[in-house]
Amino acid sequence: MVYQPKNINLIFTFLSGLVLLFILGPLIGMLLDTPATDIFDVGKESEVQNSIGLTLGASFLGTLFFSIAAIPFAYLLARKEFKLKRLISGIIDIPVVIPHSAAGIALLGFISRDSYIGKAAEYLGFSLVGHPAGIAMAMAFVSLPYLINAARNGFEAVPVRLEKAALNLGAGSFKMFFSISLPLAWRSILSGLIMMFARGMSEFGAVIIIAYNPMTTPVMIFERFGSFGLKYAQPVALIFIAISLFVFILLRWLSGKNSNA
């Protein structure tokens, strides 16, 4: 029997088309089912605009703040061997595998007014629960593994001999990290930052536990669907999907442009 690779290519192409149809079909159906006037009218609502601004801002700030510690952590995981390393690597992925409503409950106990962190926030004059800072923490909690894992893969791809050469030439560890390791792993780190930001702004389960109000856009979509039905929720969903896609494509384009520079 003669092997004919074209046959398997046709089958795989057909299966690929089914996957793409499964992804695009619901989105295209929702777009065709929603009048353009409804989309424009909802887009003018200050409540929707504020919600989108809160969602993007909280995710961005959460990504920026937690990356300060996450990137060095990823470097240690990539370069150092120590006891319980596999256990720690497994712990990092916990927020991805547990139900996000459960993640929100766990985080709520961690930042509530009775906790040390909650009391510290109260001392500063605000409560993390129901606050944009709490929302940013919820977004970061469920999305941080994407950054850590991507950055770790990037650092692992950096040749150790280059780092050793820099050290042998008299560079300190900090200079070696910022002049060799970080620039060479930057593409993976940037990809991780983008994924963390994108995953954070789409989070619903953990966020709604921490703050029903002020509403992020995923929470607003759920609230409008529960209160008024599908037709009322669709325009907000379409607007947020369009903005999410635009931001994601823009960041991907910038990351590709920077990596080729």
Q: What is the pLDDT of residues 129-167, one digit of tens each?
A: 999 999 999 999 999 999 999 999 999 999 999 988 988
Mean pLDDT, the chain, as a whole number? Answer: 89
What DSSP line would sit under the chain, residue for residue? ----HHHHHHHHHHHHHHHHHHHHHHHHHHHHHS-HHHHHHHHT-HHHHHHHHHHHHHHHHHHHHHHHHHHHHHHHHHH---TTHHHHHHHHTHHHHS-HHHHHHHHHHHHSTTSHHHHHHHHTT--STTSHHHHHHHHHHHHHHHHHHHHHHHHHTS-HHHHHHHHHTT--HHHHIIIIIHHHHHHHHHHHHHHHHHHHHT--HHHHHH-SSSPPHHHHHHHHHHHH-HHHHHHHHHHHHHHHHHHHHHHHHHHHHHHH-
pLDDT at 249: 84
Residue % of the chain over a pLDDT of 70: 95
What residue ranges define each of the domains in the chain, with the CATH number in brackets? 42-80+99-260 (1.10.3720.10)
Q: Left, alpha or beta for 34 (phi > 0: left; psi -120 to 50: alpha)? A: beta
User: For 169-194, what is the mean pLDDT?
Assistant: 90
**Interval 19-30: pLDDT, tens:** 999 989 988 988
**Interval 99-132: pLDDT, tens:** 989 999 999 989 988 888 888 888 888 889 999 9
pLDDT recorded at residue 255: 67
User: Mean pLDDT over residues 238-247, rounded?
Assistant: 89
pTM listed for this prediction: 0.86
Mean pLDDT calculated for residue range 8-24: 90
Contacts of 179 (CB under 8 A, 6+ apart): 166, 171
